[in-house]
Amino acid sequence: MHEQNTALTGRPVISSTGLFTPAESITNAELVESFNRFVDRHNAANAAAIEAGEVEPLQHSSVEFIEKASGIKARHVMAKAPILDPDIMAPRWDERGNDELSIMAEIGVAAAREALERAGRDPKDVDAVLCAASNMQRPYPAMAIEIQQALGIEGFGFDMNVACSSATFGIQTAADYVRAGNAKSVLVVSPEITSGHLNWRDRDSHFIFGDVATAVLVEDAAIAPKAHWDILGTKLKTVFSNNIRNNFGFLNRAHPETADAADKLFVQEGRKVFKEVVPMVAAMILEEAERLGLDPQGLRRLWLHQANAGMNRLIAHKVLGHEANEDESPTVLDTYGNTSSAGSIIAFHLHSEDMAAGDTGLICSFGAGYSAGTVFVRKAA
């Protein structure tokens, strides 16, 4: 708890982070076994049409294919059994009433509570809650306001969606509130139940996503705990692209004949994304480092968006000037999968405690939009 009459500086810092990890995890071997059973059933049921050339046969997946394509070995999910059931292949749980805490808010609250506890904060110390995630459970009321109410926070809250870049966009927004003196303490919560918008029947993407929730507490330096991270600078960028897209929305009911089309879930042109996003993000990082007077090769650690191991290797190499090791650019996607906006925050949460005072690092996320966000930080003395 901080003193209410402390003179504020207008200088934003990261005071703490929080992480909620679902108890259940799916290995690549489990996922492949389920997917291939679905493929065999589909091909058997459509054998005549396949023989006649009217239907393309589906292809098996493999552990080797998944790990080579992404670097992912497992992912946490909120509902394992139905995802692995070839008759369902989607998450399932009981619908909750309006008087019950929604599932997305529930995991967001869990991550937020840890962030508050690590910073020694009471909920009443917080001025605002931003729910920054790639997909919301509903349009309104805002998930952020439900999280705010569940935590007992006064002030205000709102949702924001910039796909995989949502958390870094949220951090800059929170930092701007602190700089302007409109808030002294802001929670950026990213509950990502990505299993709900993944097509588990699509060979090219069925292995990509996992579920998780993170929280970042951004505060004025005057009230921050001794162990905090100074925010040196932030930068956001968007460039429109259809190469990562999800067309699900309330207007789908205007054309019900395509309600179950593949584009109502996550779809992407993976090779195009790789080719276009890597140079865009690397250039953005280098330009912002130069603006801030930072030597990119002097960055102690990069906490990059956890979507693809190959993308991260290339970006880190361009930024650091050499092949990054695991200490310089830690990986969490091998066990978490792509957790959308939460990925870089998981990496920061799990791999920052060992850094020394004065060390600098970069939190960076990128994805659909295209969108990208950078947050340069320095460990406080």
The DSSP letter of residue 94 is P
Cβ neighbours, 10 Å, residue 94: 7
- Cα separation, 91 vs 82, in Å, equals 6
20-62 confidence digits (pLDDT tens) = 999 999 999 999 999 999 999 999 999 999 999 999 999 999 9
Residue 13, φ and ψ in degrees, nearest 5: -140, 160
Cβ neighbours, 10 Å, residue 64: 10
For residue 105, is it within any domain? no
For residue 112, is it within any domain? no
For residue 308, is it within any domain? yes
The answer for residues whose C-beta is within 8 angstroms of residue 67's C-beta and 6 or more apart is 28, 73
- Cα separation, 147 vs 159, in Å, equals 11
Count of CA atoms in the C-beta half-sphere (13 A) of 205: 21
Q: What SS3 class is residue 155?
A: coil
263-305 confidence digits (pLDDT tens) = 999 999 999 999 999 999 999 999 999 999 999 999 999 999 9
Residue 381, pLDDT score: 76
Domain harbouring 307, CATH code: 3.40.47.10
For residue 29, is it within any domain? no
* 164 counts as catalytic: yes
For residue 309, is it within any domain? yes
Q: Give the H or E element holding residue 216.
A: strand 211-220
Q: How are beta strands 229-238 and 301-304 bridged, if at all?
A: unpaired
- Mean pLDDT across the stretch 334-340? 98
166-180 confidence digits (pLDDT tens) = 999 999 999 999 999
- Cα separation, 190 vs 167, in Å, equals 6
Among residues 72, 151, 164, 377, the one annotated as catalytic is 164
- Cα separation, 381 vs 378, in Å, equals 9
Cβ neighbours, 10 Å, residue 24: 14
Domain that holds residue 353: 229-379
Residue 5, pLDDT score: 64
Q: For the chain, what percent of residues have pLDDT higher than 90? A: 97
> What is the chain's mean pLDDT, rounded?
97
183-239 confidence digits (pLDDT tens) = 999 999 999 999 999 999 999 999 999 999 999 999 999 999 999 999 999 999 999
Asked if 194 and 133 touch (Cβ cutoff 8 Å), the reply is no
For residue 322, is it within any domain? yes
Q: Please give, one letter per residue, the 3-state secondary structure of 237-277.
A: EECCCCCEECCCCHHHHHCHHHCCCHHHCCEECHHHHHHHH
First to last CA, the chain: 21
For residue 324, is it within any domain? yes
Q: What is the domain count for the chain?
A: 1
For residue 60, is it within any domain? no
Residue 2, pLDDT score: 54
* Model confidence at 4: pLDDT above 70: no
102-123 confidence digits (pLDDT tens) = 999 999 999 999 999 999 999 9
In angstroms, the Cα distances linking 73 to 150, 271, 312 are: 34, 20, 16
Asked if 324 and 317 touch (Cβ cutoff 8 Å), the reply is yes
Q: What is the pTM of this model?
A: 0.96
Q: What SS3 class is residue 285?
A: helix
